[in-house]
């Protein structure tokens, strides 16, 4: 679908290893993390901002559509090409250079292709980390494009809160490079332009470098599993934990019994932490942490957590049915394998939703009451970030279910779930995965026309060329 002269020209810009066009070489870039698949005309793999600029400039001048792709771990078809065969993939997987650490400022400047695990491995040597905790191992550019939140949002916030500066290539004929790489935490001299490129799925420009806020690694950590007495008591339980623990509370993660059982079945080496092996219907993983080393005479953190839980247990409100403190490594291992566990339980129809903290359990209760009636044969495997109102609603369908062959089945299911989320609960249909082809129609429906026109005008001004999978 792309003239051979364009392939040759692009190869000249990024080198032999930087341009892939053979089917066997590009297959991995055409396949998404959650069933989506497309056809790429080529995969460009630049190693520097200058090379990204040259590739983007060539493609804009020749009307070649580009799909920026980071770690390709997204779940809404934002980073994979469509089936036309006319789109090229701009991969960041070789944009891993640079590691400029400022320990005093607690910042690092690095390439957008750096994997989260690699970054934190380097930072760990200095007692620091980038505090957006995820079960997957994405690249930083994708984290910025989707504004990921993660399991410790409650304490550290999302990527937007922890991004100080960016270097961005615009999709115009010049491949304009914007240097927005400030290391300042306070700068109110005009529009904060970096925000235009955070959470907008790469449609406004390609992030090539980033300046990130860092946090000290906790030196004391304690975790516990909490079994609430009912779903209705969870908001009060969260408030009680925050009142008692303050800023020490770093995570409050909900896990349904179905999701936990799927994880334990998928990874038999995981220890079942529940008495007699009976998994409760819903459980919360909570974490408290301190950055200081233990001081003489200071109460140990696990003892402090136990004391708080004992006080909540004895409260007449009866918020807890059970609770126990356990090793952080074991409890987080269970939480982080939930995604893989539910994926292997059947065919997933997955949603990433966000609500007011007081509404999240009411929404889940409604799903559990109505889905068996409206869509029988579906297993609900929900988990997520109760502390910030986010939930991953994973609906598992048996792989041999004949309804999977009918596109109308999944379309009807998505239509109903999103309508309940947005219209009945005033929630968000995309909490931290941004917008991809899977969510485009819901963006068009639920975003006011004035805001869509404003977004389209900004896109046309910043990057008029065909960039990204989202039509703003």
The DSSP result for 446-471, as a single string, is HS-HHHHHHHHHHHHHH--S-BSS--
> What is the pLDDT, as a whole number, of residue 276?
85
> What is the pLDDT, as a whole number, of residue 77?
85
Go through the domains of the chain in sequence order and give each one's CATH number: 4-94 (3.30.43.10), 99-216 (3.30.465.10), 220-338 (3.30.70.2190), 346-433 (3.30.70.2740)
Tell me: pLDDT of 316 over 90. Answer: no
Confidence category of residue 275, pLDDT binned at 50, 70, 90: confident
Mean pLDDT of 235-263: 96
What is the distance between the terminal CA atoms of the chain, rounded to a whole angstrom? 25
- pLDDT tens, residue by residue, 135-188: 889 999 999 999 999 999 999 999 999 999 999 999 999 999 999 999 999 999
CA 303 to CA 98: how far, in whole Å? 42
The closest of 113, 125, 97 to 214, measured between CA atoms, is 125
Cα Rg of the chain (Å, integer): 23
The DSSP result for 66-92, as a single string, is EEEESSS--SSSSSS--TTS-EEEEE-
**Torsion angle of alpha carbons 88, 434, 197, 154, nearest 10°?**
-140
pTM above 0.85, yes or no: yes
- pLDDT tens, residue by residue, 226-239: 999 999 999 999 99
CA 436 to CA 430: how far, in whole Å? 10
CA 228 to CA 320: how far, in whole Å? 4
Confidence category of residue 7, pLDDT binned at 50, 70, 90: very high
> What is the pLDDT, as a whole number, of residue 120?
97
Does residue 272 contact residue 307 with C-beta atoms inside 8 Å? Answer: no
> DSSP 3-state assignment of 180?
strand
Q: Which residue has the higher pLDDT, 384 or 215?
A: 215
Altogether, the residues listed in the chain come to a count of: 472
Our measurement of the distance from residue 432's CA atom to the centroid of its chain's CA atoms, rounded to an integer in Å, reads 5
The closest of 246, 227, 256, 247 to 360, measured between CA atoms, is 256
> Percentage of the chain with pLDDT > 70?
100
CA 362 to CA 359: how far, in whole Å? 5
């Amino acid at each position: 679908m792309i003239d051979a002269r364009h392939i040759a020209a692009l190869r000249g810009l990024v080198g032999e290893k930087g341009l892939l066009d053979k089917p066997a070489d590009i297959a991995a870039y055409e396949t998404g993390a959650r069933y989506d698949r497309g056809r790429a005309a080529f995969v460009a793999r630049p190693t520097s901002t200058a090379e990204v600029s040259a590739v983007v400039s060539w493609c804009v001048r020749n009307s070649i559509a580009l799909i920026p792709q980071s770690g390709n771990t997204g779940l809404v078809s934002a980073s994979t090409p469509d089936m036309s065969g006319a789109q090229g993939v701009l991969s960041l997987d070789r944009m891993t250079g640079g590691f400029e650490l400022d320990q005093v400022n607690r910042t690092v400047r690095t390439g957008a292709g750096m994997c989260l695990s690699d970054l934190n491995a380097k930072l760990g040597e200095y007692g620091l980390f980038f505090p957006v905790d995820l079960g997957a191992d994405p690249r930083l550019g994708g984290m910025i494009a989707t504004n990921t939140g993660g399991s410790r949002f409650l304490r550290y916030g999302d990527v937007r809160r922890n991004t100080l500066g960016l270097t961005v290539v615009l999709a115009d004929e010049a491949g304009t490079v914007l240097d927005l790489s400030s290391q300042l935490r306070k700068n109110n001299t005009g529009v904060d332009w970096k925000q235009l490129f955070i959470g907008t799925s790469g449609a406004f420009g390609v992030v090539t470098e980033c300046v990130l806020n860092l946090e000290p690694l906790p030196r004391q950590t304690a975790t516990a599993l909490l079994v609430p007495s009912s779903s209705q008591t969870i908001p009060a339980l969260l408030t009680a934990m925050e009142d008692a623990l303050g800023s020490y509370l770093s995570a409050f993660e909900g896990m349904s019994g179905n999701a936990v059982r799927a994880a334990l079945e998928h990874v038999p080496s995981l220890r079942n932490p529940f008495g007699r092996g009976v998994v409760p219907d819903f459980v919360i993983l909570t974490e408290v942490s301190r950055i200081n080393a233990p001081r003489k005479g200071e109460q140990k953190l696990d003892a402090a957590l136990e004391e708080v839980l004992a006080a909540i247990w004895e409260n007449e409100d009866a918020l807890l049915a059970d609770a126990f403190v356990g090793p952080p490594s074991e409890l987080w291992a269970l939480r982080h394998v939930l995604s893989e566990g539910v994926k292997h339980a059947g065919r997933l129809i997955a949603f990433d939703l966000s609500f007011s903290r007081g509404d999240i359990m009411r929404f889940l209760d409604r799903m559990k009451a109505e889905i068996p009636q409206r869509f029988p044969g579906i297993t609900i495997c929900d988990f997520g970030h109760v502390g910030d109102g986010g939930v991953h609603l994973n609906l598992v369908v048996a792989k041999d279910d004949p309804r999977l062959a009918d596109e109308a089945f999944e379309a009807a299911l998505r239509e109903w779930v999103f309508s309940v989320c947005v219209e009945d609960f005033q929630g968000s249909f995309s909490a931290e995965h941004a917008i991809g082809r899977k969510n485009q129609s819901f963006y068009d429906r639920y975003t006011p026309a004035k805001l869509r026109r404003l977004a389209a005008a900004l896109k046309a001004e910043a990057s008029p060329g065909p960039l990204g999978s989202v039509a703003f």
